[in-house]
Structure 1
Amino acid sequence: MTITDLVAPEAILPALKVNSKKQALQELAARAAVLTTQNERSIFEVLLQREKLGTTAVGYGVAIPHGKLPKLDKLFGMFARLERPIDFEAMDGQPVDLMFLLLAPEGAGADHLKALARVARLLRDQDIAKKLRASRDAEAIYSVLALPPATAA
């Protein structure tokens, strides 16, 4: 499984304008609802519930909000580069400007965890994160996400 198996080019937001964690989650839920035909409110609630367990910010300006939905039929990813970093209650205290939304079917178990690990590994690579931050359009971001980690560095 590659990152591009999870995220389609139309699920890349190259310059998302948000001012808060809640607004970021609302925007991601709204856009994911359109692409997955899932209920926007259901997506938002799943993301909020997950954040209540602990922040999904993984450090280095990266957050990976995620959750499981009963009616989803396959893993779904969405990437957003924020225009301005926001506070996401990260353990390292750094504001977040790169977000990868990951939604999984209710019974996705190991696949969900493998996808989370792959996304976290990719986005915590400082060279890849730097390229993503420098990319200004969806096509450029997609090509960085499509590279194998060793090549992208």
Structure 2
Amino acid sequence: MYLKDFLREENVFVGLTASSKSQLIRLLAEKVGEKTSVPASLLSKALFEREALGSTGIGSGIAIPHAVVKDLETSICIIARLSKPIDFQAVDDIPVDIVVLLLTPAGAQSDALNVLSCVARRFRDDDLVGVLRAARTQGEFFALLLG
């Protein structure tokens, strides 16, 4: 599985602004809600429940919030680079500026694991993460990410 298999350019955001982890999760849930038939409040609830188990801030300024949402029809991925890093209670305490949101339908846990694995592999590349942080536009960020 490759990132290009489940990420679309219109789901990439560069320069997104949020002042806190909770505000960011709500904002991303709203963006997903606009693209699906699932209310943003349900999406936020699923994400907050997952975060209550432990932060999805994986370190190096990257977070991968994810959740299973029973009313979702298909998996959706949104990637955002924030205009200013925020505290995400990451494992290394480094503020987060790149967020990969992944929501999957109930019953698709194996798909979710494949997608999470793909994302984690891609963002382990420090050189790639460096150029992503320097990307100026959505198109540039998307092209570099899939490159």
**TM-score normalised to the size of structure 1?**
0.93
Deviations 1:37-84 (A, max 9, x none): 321001000000000000000001000000011122221100000000
Aligned partner of residue 7 in structure 1, secondary structure:
coil
Question: Unpaired segments of 5 or more residues in structure 2?
Answer: none
Question: Unpaired segments of 5 or more residues in structure 1?
Answer: 148-153
Aligned to 1:101: 101
The number of residue pairs the alignment matches comes to 147
Q: How far off its partner does 1:16 sit?
A: 0.5
- Is residue 65 of structure 2 the alignment partner of residue 65 of structure 1? yes
CA–CA distance in structure 1, aligned partners of residues 137 and 119 of structure 2: 20
CA–CA distance in structure 1, aligned partners of residues 8 and 37 of structure 2: 15
CA–CA distance in structure 2, aligned partners of residues 17 and 33 of structure 1: 18
CA–CA distance in structure 2, aligned partners of residues 23 and 133 of structure 1: 21
Q: What amino acid maps onto 1:115 in structure 2? A: V
- Is residue 52 of structure 2 the alignment partner of residue 39 of structure 1? no
* Aligned 1:1-150 pairs, distance under 5 A: 1-147=1-147
**TM-score normalised to the size of structure 2?**
0.96
Identity of aligned residues (%): 37
Which range moved further: 113-122 or 48-57?
Answer: 113-122
- RMSD between aligned residues: 0.9
Q: What amino acid maps onto 1:137 in structure 2? A: T
Q: What amino acid maps onto 2:125 in structure 1? A: D
CA–CA distance in structure 2, aligned partners of residues 61 and 138 of structure 1: 19
Aligned partner of residue 104 in structure 2, secondary structure:
strand
Residue pair 1:3, 1:146 contacting (<8 A) in 2 also = yes
Provide runs of 4+ in structure 1 moved above 6 Å.
Answer: none
Q: How far off its partner does 1:36 sit?
A: 2.1
